[in-house]
Amino acid sequence: MKFAYIIVVFVSLVSIAYGGFSGAIFSGFRYDSNICKLSDYDLARFSTGEKDFLLDTSDDGIIRTGTILKWKNRISGINLDGSGMIIHNIYISNGYKDYLYCAFDFAVRRKNTRLKISGTYIPKYASRAYLDDDTDSTKWASYWSSTAKIELRQRTFFGIYIGGKYEYRFARYNDYFPEYDSQRNAFGIFAAKYVPFKSEIGYYFYTSDARGYDRDGESKETSDESDISYEQDKFYTSLGYDSKIHSIQTEFDLDFAIFHRVYVSTKPYSTDPLHLGRDENVFSIKPAAKIFITDNLWTKTSAEYFQRDARSEYNPDIPKLRDYNRMRTTITLGWNF
């Protein structure tokens, strides 16, 4: 929490002292049809009361409020810009899942080359409830996480930008699931063009290494806890178009992504039946539209659909337990300043 405020205060002070200052405040409502990514099998168990998953409802409405502060300057032919953002998400029925999302970025551009450094921080996020073998009861798996990313892009022929990205993410879980603590590295490449419309296509390769044990003196190889380490490919494309409809400024965006994840657990099946030999595909699509009601007042609507298809060469129940569908729709009202 303190980290988030420090970022926003720092960006604000730098903006006021050394460059152009702008920002936005916004508030909105999101409906999430499957807040814990439960399979149809688990949703049926929840609806009949067979298992509660520590939830009041499997779907929920989320009130989202936030602010973003931006800064721009130009020094000796070098363009500088940065931003800091905070979004508070409040769940109407499942308050344990409330969370704060914080982000910042800083970019340097000289002629056709741009270097960007960015990061995110989530002080606490409750993903879902699992059975904790040590207490033989269902507990929330919650964690704090931070990410750091660096991106380099270069303008080439015909106004096409090409570039590369590196991202590091660390997540530390609560005391019930320390074996899930993870470090993730990601390497990406992309090509983008911004005129006459925005388009980007790219690829990421992820490697995530989980702790895999929960007690001092153990190791991943000797522990009887599961190993959620994985390797993952991501292919994505983004499209965007800005226009005026009856003198009203509008922005349209469409994002696609396909993920293929392979869990790399080598533990015995009796120890790790949910991850040994498992792989999965996730598909997502997100259309969005932003309309400027006035020069400063705007509204944005988006719908995001996810689908996961999982399988295992050892566990025939994996599709029943881990396949899911999820829809998130969001409407936001904001004011630029």
Residue type, 99: Y
Burial of 244 (0-12, 13-18, 19+ CB in 10 A): exposed
* Closest of 233, 285, 236 to residue 259, by C-alpha: 233
83-87, 137-141, 246-250: least confident range: 246-250
Residue type, 300: K
Q: What would the pLDDT profile of 237-279 be if each residue is shown by its tens digit?
A: 999 999 988 889 999 999 999 999 999 999 999 999 999 999 9
Q: What is the 3-state secondary structure (H, E, C) of 248-266?
A: EEEEEEEEEEEEEEEECCC
C-alpha distances (whole Å) from 3 to each of 10, 107, 120, 244 are 11, 20, 10, 39
Average pLDDT, the chain: 94
Sort strands 198-210 and 182-193 into parallel, antiparallel or unpaired.
antiparallel
Q: Are 142 and 165 in contact (CB under 8 A)?
A: no
Owner of token pair 């298809």: 309
Owner of token pair 């599709």: 319
At 2 the pLDDT is 54
Backbone angles phi, psi at 11, to 5 degrees: -60, -40
Backbone angles phi, psi at 4, to 5 degrees: -65, -50
**Cα 238 to Cα 257: distance, rounded to the nearest angstrom:** 9
Q: What would the pLDDT profile of 196-240 be if each residue is shown by its tens digit?
A: 899 999 999 999 999 999 999 899 999 999 999 999 999 999 999
Sort strands 99-110 and 20-32 into parallel, antiparallel or unpaired.
unpaired
Q: In a 3-state reduction of DSSP, which class is residue 42?
A: helix
pTM of the predicted model as reported, rounded to 2 decimal places: 0.91
For 20-44, what is the mean pLDDT? 96
Q: Are 153 and 146 in contact (CB under 8 A)?
A: no
**Cα 312 to Cα 321: distance, rounded to the nearest angstrom:** 11
**CA quadruple 13, 11, 108, 296: dihedral sign:** negative
Q: What is the DSSP annotation of 214-278?
A: -STT--TTT-SS----EEEEEEEEEEEEEEEETTEEEEEEEEEEEEEEEE---S-TTT-TTTTTE
